Amino acid sequence: MADRDALTAVATSQWIGAAVALGAALAIVWGLRYLFARRARRLAQSVLRGELSPEADTRLRLVERLVYAVVLAIGVAAALSKFDAVREIGRALLASGAIAAAIVGFAARQTLANVIAGVMIAISQPLRLGDYVAFEGHYGVVEDITLSFTTVRTGSEQRVIIPNEKLASGILRNDSLISAPVAVEVDVWIPPEADADRAVAVLEEEAGGAVAIAETVPWGVRLSVSGQAAAPPDRVPRQAELRARCLRRLRAEGLLPAP
């Protein structure tokens, strides 16, 4: 009976110690969130003498989340260390450290790759918060960058979640790295029997830009139409407007069948 009471007391103390360690980590994270939200941004703005630039805001947000992750990891490790069974597992893992490191590294490869890619994005900054980017057919504004993924908000208010590793290794077009307007380009298809040369002349008049025959296949001819340049936020609606104008003009000229 006495042994059972002693074991119960030890287990209770272990759970209490784990709860205290985890609670302390959460309290530190909460305090850091308050510090970053109230003080860090004000300090950065005062140092930069104005509002935070997209570059500084991106770096600050990534550093903030990296600090949170480190504090929580330390808190979880401290909580687990309160249990004897976990300590025994830790000693066994240390005894076979190379094998354990290989297993853990392989299991967490994707997660670690995303975290490292997120840090590299914060340093090199191929994109920043508020930038208008195109990636694998998706176009929109960078809404958030976390340690694991980047969120892009499209013109239709959809959120595209892109893993940081894929983003860092893919081909990205950023329309906000310079302040100049970006080109507005659309593709328009006409039937194979339509007069392509006449369609090119008609669309050059309608769009006021360059028109080229981009592709010819048995089922149609693809025309690439360039319109007037626009600011990055206006690119998607300008493309939709240009495409609609081109289709209406081609139908009016008899180069496209009626819908």
pLDDT (tens digit, 9 = 90+) per residue, 124-144?
A: 778 888 888 888 888 888 888
Please check whether residue 153 is in contact with residue 140, taking contact to mean a CB–CB distance below 8 angstroms: yes
Domain holding 217: CATH number?
A: 3.30.70
10-27 pLDDT per residue, tens: 667 767 777 777 788 788
Q: Domain count for the chain, please give it.
A: 3
194-214 pLDDT per residue, tens: 888 898 888 888 888 888 888
Could you please report the per-residue DSSP string of 158-178?
-EEEEEHHHHHHS--EESSSS
Please say which residue of 78, 107, 136 terminates a domain: 107
Domain span at residue 163 reads: 124-174
Shared domain for 170 and 146, answered yes or no, is yes
The answer as to whether 21 is a domain residue is yes
Shared domain for 246 and 222, answered yes or no, is yes
Q: Of 241, 259, 254, 240, which is closest to residue 198 (Cα–Cα)?
A: 254
pTM to 2 decimal places:
0.53
What pLDDT score was predicted for residue 73?
Answer: 78
Q: Of 237, 218, 246, which is closest to residue 132 (Cα–Cα)?
A: 237
What pLDDT score was predicted for residue 184?
Answer: 82
What pLDDT score was predicted for residue 239?
Answer: 86
Q: Of 244, 174, 138, which is closest to residue 225 (Cα–Cα)?
A: 244
Please check whether residue 147 is in contact with residue 66, taking contact to mean a CB–CB distance below 8 angstroms: yes
Torsion of CA 187, 191, 193, 198, to 10 degrees: -40
146-161 pLDDT per residue, tens: 878 888 988 778 888 9
Whether pLDDT at 230 is above 60:
yes
Shared domain for 32 and 76, answered yes or no, is yes
